[in-house]
Amino acid sequence: MRKAIVFVCVVFLASLIVSAAVAQDIKVGTLLAHTGPLKEFGPAHQKGVELAVKQLEAAGLKVSLVHEDSETSAIPATNAAKKLVEVDRVVAIIGALASGVTVPVAESVTIPSNVLQISEASTSPLITVLPADKEKDFLFRTCPSDALQGVVAGKLAATYNKTAAVLYVNNPYGQGLAENFKTAFEKAGGKVLAAVPHDEKAAESYTAELRKALDGKPDILCAYSYPEHAKVYLKEAIEFFNFKSFLFCDGTKSEDIIKAVGAENLEGQMGTAPGSAGGEPFVMFNADYKAEYGRLPPLPFITNAYDAMAVIGLAAYRAKVKGLELNSKNIRDNLRAVANPPGEVIKPGEFKKAFDLIRAGKDINYEGAAGSVDFDENGDVITPIEVWKYKQGKLVTVRVEHEF
Helix (H) or strand (E) holding 338: helix 328-339
Cβ atoms within 10 Å of 391's Cβ, excluding its own: 16
The reported pLDDT for the residue numbered 23 is 56
CA distances from 180 to 99, 153, 171, 384 (A): 15, 9, 14, 17
Angstrom distance (rounded) from CA 140 to CA 120: 9
Q: What is the DSSP letter of 374?
A: -
The reported pLDDT for the residue numbered 403 is 76
CATH 3.40.50.2300 maps onto the chain at: 2-145+279-366, 146-273+387-401
- End-to-end alpha carbon distance in the chain: 76
The reported pLDDT for the residue numbered 296 is 97
0.95 exceeded by the pTM?
no
The reported pLDDT for the residue numbered 16 is 39
Per-residue pLDDT 10s for the chain (404 aa) are 444 443 434 334 444 333 333 457 999 999 999 999 999 999 999 999 999 999 999 999 999 999 999 999 999 999 999 999 999 999 999 999 999 999 999 999 999 999 999 999 999 999 999 987 877 999 999 999 999 999 999 999 999 999 999 999 999 999 999 999 999 999 999 999 999 999 999 999 999 999 999 999 999 999 999 999 999 999 999 999 999 999 999 999 999 999 999 999 999 999 999 999 889 999 999 999 999 999 999 999 999 999 999 999 999 999 999 999 999 999 999 999 999 999 999 999 999 999 999 999 999 999 999 999 999 999 999 999 999 999 999 999 999 998 77
**What is the CATH architecture of 2-145+279-366?**
3-Layer(aba) Sandwich (3.40)
The reported pLDDT for the residue numbered 404 is 73
The reported pLDDT for the residue numbered 178 is 98
Q: Which residues contact 397 (CB under 8 A, 6 or more apart)?
A: 275, 386, 387, 388
Comparing CA positions, the residue from 217, 154, 161, 199 lying closest to residue 180 is: 154
Comparing CA positions, the residue from 370, 332, 321 lying closest to residue 138 is: 332
Cβ atoms within 10 Å of 133's Cβ, excluding its own: 8
Instruction: Give the chain's largest Cα–Cα span.
Output: 88
Chain centre distance of CA 251: 11
Angstrom distance (rounded) from CA 145 to CA 127: 8
Residue 369 and residue 346 in contact, taking contact as beta carbons nearer than 8 Å: no
Angstrom distance (rounded) from CA 102 to CA 121: 9
User: Hey, what CATH topology would domain 146-273+387-401 get?
Assistant: Rossmann fold (3.40.50)
